[in-house]
Structure 1
Amino acid sequence: MEPQDNIEEDDTAASPSSSSPPTRSLPRQRVSLQKSSVCSRSYFMVVMVFFHVYIINVIALLLYVHYNNGSNAITANRDFTSRDNSHKDTGASNPQTPADSGFPRNMHLPRIEGIRVGHVQKVSLVPGKVHEMKTLSLKPLLFEIPQFLSEEECGVVVHLAQLKGLMESQVMVPEGQEELNQQLNLSPEEIFNFLDLNQDGQLQPHEVCWQTSMSVKPWFCSLARLRKCNVWLYLVFISRSQLVRNSRHTWLYQGQGAHQVLQDLRKRFTRLTRLPSSLVELSEPLQVVRYEQGGHYHAHHDSGPVYPETACTHTRLAANTTSPFQTSCRYITVLFYLNNVEEGGETTFPVADNRTYEENDVDLLDTRKHCDKGNLRVKPIKGTAVFWYNYLSDGRGWVGEQDEYSLHGGCVVTRGTKWVANNWINVDPDYQRQARYQQFVSQQQETQEQEELISELNSDQHIERHQDL
């Protein structure tokens, strides 16, 4: 029995030692909890730092995109200040500066950011209404604004165009350049060499891309063939309306004294483009076009590239030198759909958002046969407006090179009638020439106002003298 007692004593003696380890493990558990809490706090700090860095990077990226699209006013101001200084040096003989004529010295042309295709942004164009503007393309920078015009406004524009009268839209020898054609007096050899870009002795379709490939194929000719068939007369004097454009159009004045709808329309797209009103007011009037069934317009550019030997049509009077070659410097095109077309009549952008621009692909220019092959087609919906930039930005807030991706055309109206209107905003890529033009127009307006004032004063004096008699 004693051994058993000893065992019990040992057990009782060992029991305190066996129960002691749990009491000793408590501090260890507390230490582990403290360590885990310290690790979680550090992890939280790392996550917060990473989050703030990410937000800063996003903001920096947005600022970069914003300023890279031509909105960097600081760089633009410095650049245009230097431009104005050079303009003062070259135009010292004229006491009035561009700033005095209402043309700001630090003017830059804002460009709306497309962000991405399908992006929708809200714009305020009329009081009490918010429009949605959707990005359709980045090359060219193209936007769509549904319900830009009300049904009543569309009807008024169509009615005014009908009252004014529409004329055939055909492209012949440019007005005022008949004398130039006579002065050039080109021989058949010179004409052929001018058209034969690669100088291979034959004319390919892409060398006369304003024609359609089908109309060029029958006279795939050499110099001898050119003499025989007198192609020059065919190129210059043929009515191109059946090949390039088939429509009727007219022009509507939008300035002071015009119909209120036309004035409101100009104010609205001025807010839309965010351009200075001084540029918009001196641009082309509103063009209204009607396409009957079968009407179309082959793919083309609204504005051409400006070379040293060319001048913009709207600023040619203010240019220092005369140039026989002119181009329509249309910085922005705003297209309005005035009715719903029963079938066809889409506006196609054949190379929109292409990785490369294929100028030699003449088939894409023919909207009668290949309109469905275009990358982007906009369906005409009554009241909808689309607008795009025909030029890139020069990176300093002014007009840069021509955007070749702005190639567009009108698909064939297969059923019904199509009514559209165009507003073009004219800007000369040459900043000084545009400034001189603004100054010239301002002087002409002041002179006209003074003459009208003098005429009114003379008439009033004449009436007073008549009453005295």
Structure 2
Amino acid sequence: MEDVQDNLMEQEEYDDSDNPLASPFKPSLRSTRLHVQRSSICSRAYFVVVMVFFHVYILNVIGLLLYVHYNNGPGDLVSGDGATSAASSESGTPLPHPDPASRELHVEDYSQSFSLPRIEGIRVGHVQQVSLVPGRTHEMKTISLKPLLFEIPGFLSEEECRVVVQLAQLKGLMESQMTAPSQGQEESNQPLLSISTEEVFSLLDLNQDGLLQKQEIVSHSRSRDGTWLNPDNLRQILSGLEACPTGMLTLEDFRHVYVMSQRPGQQQSRKLHSHFKQRSKHTWLYQGPGSHRVLHTLRNRVTSLTRLPSALVELSEPLQVIRYEHGDFSNAHHDSSPSHSETTCAHTRLAGNTSALAEVSCRYLTMLFYLSSVEEGGETTFPVADNRTYEEQALVQDGVDLTDTQETCSRGNLKMKPAAGTALLWYNHLSDGRGWMGELDEYSLHGDCPVRRGVKWVANSWVNVDPDHQQQARYQRLVAQRHQAKSGTEEHYQALSHSDLHQDL
């Protein structure tokens, strides 16, 4: 009996050990349930953390988008182009600009977000690659940091230099015919550059198709915007064009008409040459719609290089062309003027303070183009460039005035020798720290050394900016309104006359 009971007890123990469900209190079952509960808790906590971070991330993205939207509202002509200046200046390659000629004058209200792009100089000797002509790059070298001055060799081609000189001569000759020479004036021994009939035809042929249309001739008839055809010349050329069956003049037709148009003024040729030498030796060339293609291209190139809004460049002064002969020079001066409450900018006088005591030149930057090389002399000098400090008293050293370039040109800190096609760019004003034009940069003092041998031709292109950006905006709105009012009554080639907007400064 005892053996049987022992066997039954062993069998029950064996069955219990093989069947984990036999007892709910077995350790193995208890450990399994505890493990399942811990895993479930961890999964829920991980899910909650992930969802919290996900929602925080979404909220941050929404907040960033709202911040960008409300801090970069609709800009104006200036803020639009200025946004890319920082990135572009590092690479040295300006972003492409639309052709200013294809855009109508349109000025929007200025917002609080405005800026004038400014090229970075980095350091003296730094070279940047700039793209100004399709398929070609130019090197722009930093010459000085005070003032911020750059040199761009090959900015103009030899042909472009020649055309600008010829246009300036024709404009000067036309103005000389309007005023008789002074009595007792000596004749010039140095003749002006001879311009053939073929070259005159090419200057008139704006689209270079080998034919002269009426609108191309009429575009040169403005009285103050670069014209060199007087009323008699214009009348005879237009009469010849109207007599032509095709309504257009070929080069052969133009030869006959042009010779006939020049006959009434042939007896004045000797006086014209001497009077051209005596006058200020400078003239202004209009660069807007209807101007010669070279002048128009040159203005577009300035817009591309400076990265400034096209409206500022378009509404700035016409191109000034200057001729320096033997012994000619200019003392050191500033192209622009410091701003004062009692003065107003000459270029924005239409919207300026009529009670201002004086009008001054407001030129944000200067681009100077060498149209010819000079055999000796004629350098552009910056007497105090990169000085540690600027003091007017320091301009007089050992009793010698450094602004007198005729006597002290060799003592200037920096001299640039003229080379045909080379351009100089410098800023006449500092930044105001908010992206607009600030104080006059006194280090921009510059002049022209006397020409010792040869003839020096240069051209100046200034970009006018009013230190008061609100006044600049009012001026641009006024010009746009006048342009729209005239657009319905004028011919396609008759643009808003700069004689109504500018004065010869």
* Fold-level similarity (TM above 0.5): yes
State the secondary structure of the residue aligned to 1:383.
coil
Over 3 Å counting, the alpha-carbon distance change for 1:75 and 1:149 in structure 2 is farther
SS state at 1:452 partner: coil
SS of residue matched to 1:369? helix
Q: Distance in 1 between matches of 2:467 and 2:74?
A: 14
Aligned residues of 2:286 and 2:319 also touching (Cα < 8 A): yes
Tell me the matched-pair count: 292
**Once the two structures are aligned, what percentage of the paired residues are identical?**
65
For residues 117 and 304 of structure 2, the distance between their equivalents in structure 1, rounded to whole angstroms, comes to 12
Q: Deviations for 1:213-259, whole angstroms, at most 9, x for unmatched residues?
A: xxxxxxxxxxxxxxxxxxxxxxxxxxxxxxxx996111111100000
Question: How far apart are 1:400 and its partner, in Å?
Answer: 0.4
Aligned ranges 1:357-436 → 2 under 5 Å: 357-360=390-393, 361-362=395-396, 363-436=401-474
Aligned to 1:252: 285
**1:258-297 alignment to 2 at 5 Å?**
258-297=291-330
Match status 1:319 vs 2:343: no
The whole-number CA distance in structure 1 between the counterparts of 2:353 and 2:488 is 27
- The answer to whether 1:148 aligns with 2:155 is yes
Question: CA separation of 1:377/1:101 partners in 2, compared to 1, >3 Å: closer, same or farther?
Answer: same
- Residue 417 and residue 247 in structure 1: after superposition, are their counterparts in 2 closer, same or farther (change >3 A)? farther
Q: From 340, 352, 374, give the equivalent of 2:373.
A: 340
Give the aligned residue type for 2:470.
Answer: Q
For residues 392 and 75 of structure 1, do their structure 2 counterparts lie closer, same or farther at Cα, with a shift above 3 Å needed? farther
Instruction: Report if the CA contact (8 A) 1:247-1:292 is conserved.
Output: no
Cα displacement string for residues 83-114 of structure 1 (whole angstroms, at most 9, x for unaligned residues): 99xxxxxxxxxxxxxx9624654441010000
CA distance in 2, matches of 1:75, 1:423: 38
What does residue range 434-445 of structure 1 map to in structure 2 within 5 Å? Answer: 434-445=472-483
On the 8 A contact 1:246/1:296 being kept in 2, the answer is: no
Counting only pairs closer than 5 Å after superposition, residues 125-144 of structure 1 correspond to structure 2 as: 125-144=132-151
In structure 2, C-alpha distance between the alignment counterparts of 1:320 and 1:129, rounded to whole Å: 45
Partner of 1:460: none
Q: CA deviation at 1:326?
A: 1.3
Contact 2:379-2:418 within 8 A present in 1 as well: yes
State how 1:97-176 maps to structure 2 within 5 Å: 101-102=107-108, 105=111, 106-165=113-172
Distance in 1, matches of 2:147 and 2:318, equals 24
The CA distance in 2 between the partners of 1:259 and 1:425, in whole Å, is 20
* Corresponding residue for residue 307 of structure 1: 340
Report deviation, 1:340. Answer: 0.8
Give the match's secondary structure for 1:370: helix
Instruction: Give 5+ residue unaligned stretches, structure 2.
Output: 1-67, 80-104, 177-277, 495-505
TM-score w.r.t. the length of structure 2 is 0.54
Deviates more, 1:362-371 or 1:116-125: 362-371
Report the alpha carbon displacement of residue 316 of structure 1 after superposing the two structures with TM: 1.5
1:110 match: secondary structure: coil
Mapped to 2, the partners of 1:264 and 1:300 lie a distance apart of 29
Distance in 1 (CA, whole Å) between partners of 2:443 and 2:109 is 30
Q: Which amino acid aligns with 1:149?
A: L
Cα 1:79/1:398, change in 2 over 3 Å: farther
State the SS of the aligned residue for 1:163.
helix
* Equivalent residues of 2:75, 2:110 under 8 A apart: no
Cα distance change of structure 1 residues 165 and 307 upon mapping to structure 2, 3 Å threshold: same
SS at match of 2:459: strand
Could you say if the C-alpha distance between residues 133 and 344 of structure 1 is closer, same or farther in structure 2, counting changes exceeding 3 Å? same
Q: Any idea what the Cα deviations from partners look like across 1:337-390, whole Å, max 9, x if unmatched?
A: 001101000000000000111213241100011011111000100000001000
Residue 451 of structure 1 aligns to a residue in which SS?
A: coil
Contact kept in structure 1, 2:344 and 2:353, CA below 8 Å: no
SS in 2 for 1:302: coil
Alignment partner, residue 205 of structure 1: none
- Structure 1: any 5+ residue segments left out of the alignment? 1-72, 85-98, 169-244, 457-469
Deviation at 1:319, TM superposition (A): 1.8
Deviation at 1:322, TM superposition (A): 2.4
Q: Report if aligned partners of 1:140, 1:353 keep a CA contact under 8 Å in 2.
A: yes
Q: Does the residue aligned with 1:322 lie in a helix, a strand or coil? A: coil
Structure 2: how far apart are the matches of 1:270 and 1:440?
Answer: 22
User: Secondary structure at 1:303's aligned position in 2?
Assistant: coil
Tell which structure's C-alpha radius of gyration is larger: 2
TM-score when normalising by structure 1: 0.59
Shift of 1:80: 8.2
CA deviation map 1:119-157 (0-9, x unaligned): 000000110110000000000000000000000000000
Q: Contact (CA 8 Å) 1:153, 1:261: kept in 2 or not? A: yes
Backbone CA RMSD of aligned residues: 3.0
Structure 1 distance, partners of 2:452, 2:333, is 21
Q: 1:75: how far off?
A: 13
After superposition, the C-alpha distances for 1:4-55 in whole angstroms (9 at most, x for unaligned) are xxxxxxxxxxxxxxxxxxxxxxxxxxxxxxxxxxxxxxxxxxxxxxxxxxxx
**Structure 1 CA distance, aligned partners of 2:146 and 2:69?**
26
1:103/1:390 CA distance change after superposition, 3 Å: farther
4+ runs deviating over 3 angstroms? 73-81, 102-107
| Cα distance in 1 between the residues matched to 2:392 and 2:353 | 33
The DSSP-based 3-state class of the residue aligned with 2:304 is helix
Q: Distance in 1 between matches of 2:391 and 2:69?
A: 37
Q: Secondary structure at the match of 1:348?
A: strand
Separation in structure 2 between the aligned mates of residue 437 and residue 80 of structure 1, nearest angstrom: 17
